[in-house]
Amino acid sequence: MVWRGVSRAASGPKGNPAGSAVAAAVAQIPWQVLDLGVVPYGIVLERQIELLEERIGERIPDTLILVEHPPVVTLGRAKTTTNLRETPQALRAQGIDFFEVSRGGDATYHAPGQLVGYPIFDLRQHGRDVLRFCRGVEAALIGVLEAVGLRARSVPGKAGVWVGDRKIASLGISLRRWVTFHGFALNVAVDLTGFQVIRPCGEEPEVMTSMEALLKRRVAMGEVRSWVAAEFARVFGFGEQRAVSR
């Protein structure tokens, strides 16, 4: 695992100097980004809970985990099993992990090529407003997508980010003592056929798309990780990050 800094001079995709708004901020919030690479969902879930307790105890600043997962289906608090097109046993037989979790939302699918982010943020520093936080996460992802030429938007009444009538990012969070956990999934280069095992948050699997599918070119995951971190800094007013190793 790598803790890496995102400075005020960080920039997003070409033509989108995401760090400029951060540099202009009067008051900047300290934060850190934990870049894990590709790690199984269960391991990262345990790490989230550890960091959640550390954030509640004010032992760490706001933290954004960035990671890719091997194939896994998660079922949120809605627990609408009708949106599972395969049983948990059948999923595991195909090498797809399955977890029931405490986040908002319904069935989601994660796999390599999808950037998953878990913001462990204390909302007492961000207006004590859960809806505002969710809109902020969507705004950060929209900023990344628009900078590479994709006209992205949020849809009233639906969590996540859309390009036209296709969904490119999902969102589902949980909250404990004003600190957020769980988060978002941005489809970068994921194999979209994997979504056939669920109805993603109640939608037909064909609604899902990815950056590579829409741009019709390769998109480097490393660059997307940097762009997402820079856009989070811009949207949430983060300053220069404290570098931590553990």
Which residues form the catalytic set?
201
CA dihedral 18, 238, 145, 85 (to 10 degrees): 170
Pairwise CA distance, residues 209 & 169, whole Å: 9
Cβ neighbours of residue 206 under 8 Å, at least 6 residues apart?
none
Pairwise CA distance, residues 23 & 21, whole Å: 5
- 243 backbone dihedrals φ, ψ, rounded to 5°: -80, 130
Cβ neighbours of residue 232 under 8 Å, at least 6 residues apart?
64, 119, 140, 238
Pairwise CA distance, residues 112 & 40, whole Å: 10
Nearest to 148 by CA among 194, 214, 205: 214
DSSP 123: G
Compute the half-sphere exposure of residue 111: CA atoms within 13 Å on the CB side of its CA.
15
